[in-house]
Structure 1
Amino acid sequence: MITRRDGQSVRIPESVLVAGKVVPAAPARRRGPAASYPELARITARAWRPVESERLGEWELRAAGGFTRRANSVLPLGDPGLGLDAALEAVRRWYGERGLPAYVQTATGAEGTQELLGAELERRGWVREVTAELWIGALAPVADRAEGAGVVLSREADEAWLSRYQRKGMTEVALRVLGSGPSVWFATVPGAPGEPPAAIGRCVVDGRWAGFAAVEVDPARRRQGLATEVMAALARRALDEGASAAWLQVEDDNEAARALYADLGFAPHHAYHHYRAPEESGDEHQDPAPGNTRAGRS
């Protein structure tokens, strides 16, 4: 059984195998910051904190009332301290006690990611519902792209900001998740009087890293550079706080956003996936993925 970089498993008959070898670690990136998967996994988790968490060995079980898969899934870094079947049963029990579906977040495509765990989950009938990519890049080029003079920065997501945010019916728990992180900034480009903002964005600064999320633009104002203005203003603030590298998450099919981020100097680092326990069904807990932005359509 061969597990590809994208997490897909392929069965190959032994009779057709001729030789095999250990593939060395990927060569150094030609652009952008150097980063390991474990470092990025922890950085991204701190930018989207749950309201409740518990350790299962080295795994972290996270819950936030169902607001996004990221805050309501297991982050399996390391050994759970149990056999896999026992660990997964403990996961299902923990989420079941909270009335939530059981999810496990895995990653593929970089050194230290969890191709084998993904293959084992699929073998046990866990269903992969979401796949997206984490991209990284240098922060300074983003800050240099636009003046951002019309962008207002705030420490809190006010009513105007939330009126543009794609998620509706925000609960107190959701607001706590949205405002979580070491140093959180919200950006707003005001719209016409009485109208929602023309564009918004969110950035979490954590040491050398700045994570961009929720970059959204009024459909009538897209392709006017507003997404770049928002990200540039947030990037300058992050530089002031000592950050030098940036990350974001984007879905595979969001071609416009991917083109924008590539133009800003970002490139894929790894893919991440959410697996749902086989006995669960439905998709009421959708994950916006911080990089599932509408920025690229602006």
Structure 2
Amino acid sequence: GGTTGLAFGGGVDNCTVSNVYGHRLGTSSGAVGLYSSGPDLNISNINFQGYETTFNVGGKKTPYELFKHKGSSVLASKDSHVTGTNGFVVGSVRGQATGDSQSGVIGSYNTINPKANSTVWGWATGSTPSSANRKIELHAKEGTIKATGKITGSATFSDYAEYFESLSGEKIPTGTLVTLEGDKIRPAEKGDLMLGVISETAGVILGESSFHWSGRYVKNEFGGCVYEEQKDANGQMVMAPKENPDYRPEEDYASRDERDEWNIVGLIGQVYVRCDETVKAGDFIHAHNGIATKSDSPNQHWQVMKVIQEFDADKGFGVAFVFIR
């Protein structure tokens, strides 16, 4: 029967209110469902009915729609809110998760995330939140990562690589120079165009097909996904990649990293290469039985920066550090 359903007075900071239902019989002038004198109140999954004003937080009469959602939360944040289902704002100031569902904002300042199924980090000065202030976005549905700044690997890996399948179906030893035969690779011989070298030092590796069979989704003639309307977890119709009818999710899957026939080939950058006794620092190279040997006509411009290990007759190779461009 009171005019205020739930109230927080002065000096109460960073409280969390969640999973509360309030119903006032009749509506009277000035009745407030939830009142807080300060702005630092974390609100989630709240439903008040029968009050003239649903929320009054920090002197602002906040629209009911900003908190009428299921399974969402605002934690350790200030002047922040969520409008979709199963969304969240954590550790942020003026953060807003406004995507329809599964929209998140973490550790951000003045940042709006308008996308469903994604989590963002962002920062900008001023007092006006904006989606333009996003700096990093992880998109769960698409499996994409976007960032406005540089992405730095802390390890001293030094080349860019892709997965290729071996012609023999077997693992090719690290440091072997390889060439293409059709869409597969084999150790390169003299006169072959060297594709790259089997690498353990790649900082960027493409083509691993880490989580599922590479043919799981139907592709168009240019390798892009074919999309169709499907129902999402909330029963809404969305455009999503069309699944291949041959895909068998119940079958165990091993990524290419776990299969001997797939090899990581360093294509550009600084790589470790097996070499023979002819190779010295400053030399250009070509291949013989997959091993680098000195070339007097450097048509591929693969140059030795230094010899890491001198040629060992017992091993049958030395190791040179080579720059591929």
Same fold (TM over 0.5): no
TM superposition score normalised by structure 2: 0.20
> Rg bigger for which structure?
2
Decide which structure has greater strand share. Answer: 2
TM superposition score normalised by structure 1: 0.22
